[in-house]
Amino acid sequence: MQAMWITVSEDLGDICPVFRKTWNCSGHVKCARIMMSSLGVYEAELNGKRISDYVLAPGWTSYKTRLQYQEYDITEMLEEKNTLEITVGKGWFRSRMADFAYPEEAEKRQKQPCGLIAQLSVIYKDGKQEELYTDETWEYAESPVRFSEIYDGEVYDACFCPADWKRAVILNWSKDILIPQEGCKIREMERIYAKSVFRTPRGELVVDFGQEVTGYVEFSVNAHEGERIHILHGEMTDHEGNFYNENYRSAKAEITYICRAGRQTWHPRLTFFGFRYIMLDEFPKMEDSELYTEQFTANAVYSDMEQTGHIASSDNRLNRLVSNIMWGQKGNFLDVPTDCPQRDERLGWTGDAQVFVKAACYNFDTEKFFTKWLRDLAAEQRKDGAVTTVVPDYMPGDRPSAAWGDAAVICPWQIYMIYGNEKILEDQFDSMKRWVDYITASTKKPFLWTGGEHYGDWLGLDAPAGSYKGSSREDLIATAYYAYSTELLIRAGRVIGKDMGEYEELHRRIVSAFRKTFPGYYTQTEHVLAVHFGLAEDVQKTADDLAELIIQDGTQIKTGFVGTPLILHVLSSYGHTALAYSLLLRTGYPSWLYPVEKGATTIWEHWDGIRTDGNFWSADMNSFNHYSYGAVADWIYEVAAGITPVEKAPGFRRVRIEPHPDGRIGWLEVSVRTRNGMVSSRWNCEKDSIRYDIKTEMPAEIIIDGKTMNVEPGKYTFWGRLQNT
């Protein structure tokens, strides 16, 4: 690439620069393409029109070694005289990301330079070729974007016109880090129209979109020149109905817009927010209450993924839960699988990603999304093989944690199983192996993982007072995941033709050491892990003990981030499907449906983000869009509907369908579009009988009432007995 990095020659402070290049076409254009990237996020316009609908390009990667560039076809946009303008904001590259935990690192990040690199190639119909690329001939000026940052929002002055253009300067920055676009394009995927505009008891003017989204608000207004619009974002109103966003912590999450004269429509372009409500702190005519819902639209922004899974039932509460899970994924799959999209965090937590990856792959086609992120995980992996707790690594002082670092192994395996592409295992195998080797080298006791510092069963409801961690023993959790990651590494190695004898022996020793060290289990999560990872001496008895413990606890879950995604699977795998349904359908706190009863439109971080008395859990760590507990969706796909890929035929080359109905739900219909076709499973309760309607576009193994039938692609109807109530 001949293009050079360019930057500004002065400190513009918080103002976003706009870079410019003008040129004349010297003939009839056959084709023209432009490649570009930035240190920050950019928006490019050619002759006053946006080049692409890509939002927040070039995306978020491990910037030290990997920076995506995008390539656009601009043939139809060229004119005889052309002006290319590219505005560069701070984005993830230069915002104060993770300053709540690592302020010094965030300060260094904020001091990094803004940069742009672009190369334009024009081929004329007479065969002549012309190249234009970033160098000292480009110009820059202050843009109307007076401030833009991930946590704090955007300030835009529509009255400001760039002037006083100056020469750009060459920036000494590596071009070796540039890679072609790998991930999904980030786009405005959906538009949510305002549901209501109302006054709160405090007199605040608030717009409710009826659905929490990640993205930004777009508004239309007829204003006088210089009038200000100031908008705050929030997820909730408090128990009195007032606007609430204290849980955003230090993130200001606000936009300020200086109006030009006349009618105008605007939305931020270089940042994003997580919100359901906006508060109009300043807005033209707001005192006259002449505001209408038609003036406000929430643009949902997320990675361009095709929805592949669909779940519907006769239970509207369950349908709302499924909708919340889908929206939680959309809101947190904005180029990186983040924990939350609203507060001063928005980081790619590895633990959240691994517990949700299976559900994510059923809900949407996430192969491309995860492939890109896993390459960043490998790039951030430390020299000793340790996996960072967030990817990209904006928390370099964090120690590796079990169930978080295991994303290095669990995610590639799950993607392979759902999509059937061995390349993900080939590409990630070294990273997977290095993680297992890291545990082996760092433990204080051979074949156990002891001595580490972990997040434990994060937010487990059995946590001791004052702790965010559950009561499950951290060494037990760590060793259980050590065994599981080793087992998956062995499976992956076999798929791609590796000799895994050394790790097979390691796994046997880990299991033996686990059984000797942890002969008994005290919490729900300890039981879950011992069963699900095949570590208990007697898995059936341990599963039975788990069921009894759950009933003793009031038929409710006490698990956190580690135990919750697996607990229903363990129960249904060992004869306790009815109890699993009881947990799924429970409406009181704690349960999946408790937030639904409280009006949730996404998945909450805490089971009681809003407590039974109407008060909030806290302002310290209380996200209302946190997808992890939405992992329950994979149980609905795999157990309730019974759809699973066969391990020897990954990617659903062959499908296993074994539905597990429950009379408390009248009917359930689930479908999944796979790499090898569509499969759907529907059951309908009719008195003491169940009607099953199954469609499959691939060979299938169908199991009804314990009877197995091997079938070819087609439509099938069966009748069975209603067993679970």
Would you please indicate which residues are annotated as catalytic (active-site) residues? 345, 605
Q: How far apart (Å, rounded) are the C-alpha atoms in residues 562 and 313? A: 28
Q: Please return the burial class of 559, using the count of CB atoms within 10 Å of its CB with bins 0-12, 13-18 and 19+.
A: buried
Instruction: Please give, one letter per residue, the 3-state secondary structure of 400-413.
Output: CCCCCCCHHHHHHH
CA–CA dist 564, 629 (Å, integer) = 7
Token pair for 144: 């109307």
Rounded Cα distance, 452 and 383, in Å: 18
Please list the helix, strand and coil fractions of the chain in percent, rounded to the nearest 5, in that order.
Answer: 30, 30, 40
Do residues 462 and 389 lie in contact, with contact meaning Cβ atoms separated by under 8 Å? no
What is the distance between the alpha carbons of residues 345 and 353, in angstroms, rounded to a whole number?
A: 15
Q: Which residues pair with 131 in a beta bridge?
A: 121
Q: Which helix (H) or strand (E) segment is 509 a member of?
A: helix 501-517
Closest CA to 598 of 274, 239, 265, 253: 239
Q: Are 237 and 352 in contact (CB under 8 A)?
A: no
In terms of Cα–Cα distance, which of 42, 51, 31 is closest to 5? 42
Q: In the 8-state DSSP scheme, what is residue 396?
A: T
d(CA 116, CA 517) in angstroms, rounded, equals 56
Distance, in Å, from the CA atom of 59 to the CA atom of 73, rounded to the nearest integer, reads 19
551 phi and psi angles, rounded to 5 deg: -65, -40
Please tell me the distance from the alpha carbon of residue 151 to that of residue 431, in angstroms, as a whole number.
Answer: 31
Could you give phi then psi for residue 32, rounded to 5 degrees?
-145, 135
Locate the DSSP E strands across 329-402: 333-334, 336-337
CB atoms within 10 A of CB 224: 10
* Distance separating alpha carbons of residues 724 and 683, to the nearest angstrom: 13
Hey, what are 262's tokens? 């006349």
User: DSSP 3-state assignment of 491?
Assistant: helix
Q: What angle do CA 323, 324, 325 make, to 5 degrees?
A: 90
The Cα 423–Cα 381 span in angstroms is: 20
C-beta atoms surrounding 585 within 10 Å: 17
Q: Largest alpha-carbon pair distance within the chain?
A: 82
The answer to whether 386 and 401 have CB atoms below 8 angstroms apart is no
Q: What amino acid is encoded at 374 in this protein? A: L
Q: Which helix (H) or strand (E) holds 484?
A: helix 474-495
Distance CA 54, CA 35 (A): 13
Nearest-angstrom CA–CA distance, 587 and 593: 5
CA distance 194 to 219: 10
Query: To 10 degrees, the CA torsion angle through 358, 363, 369, 374?
Result: -10
According to DSSP, the β-strands at 228-234 and 205-223 are unpaired
Helix (H) or strand (E) run with residue 638 in it: none
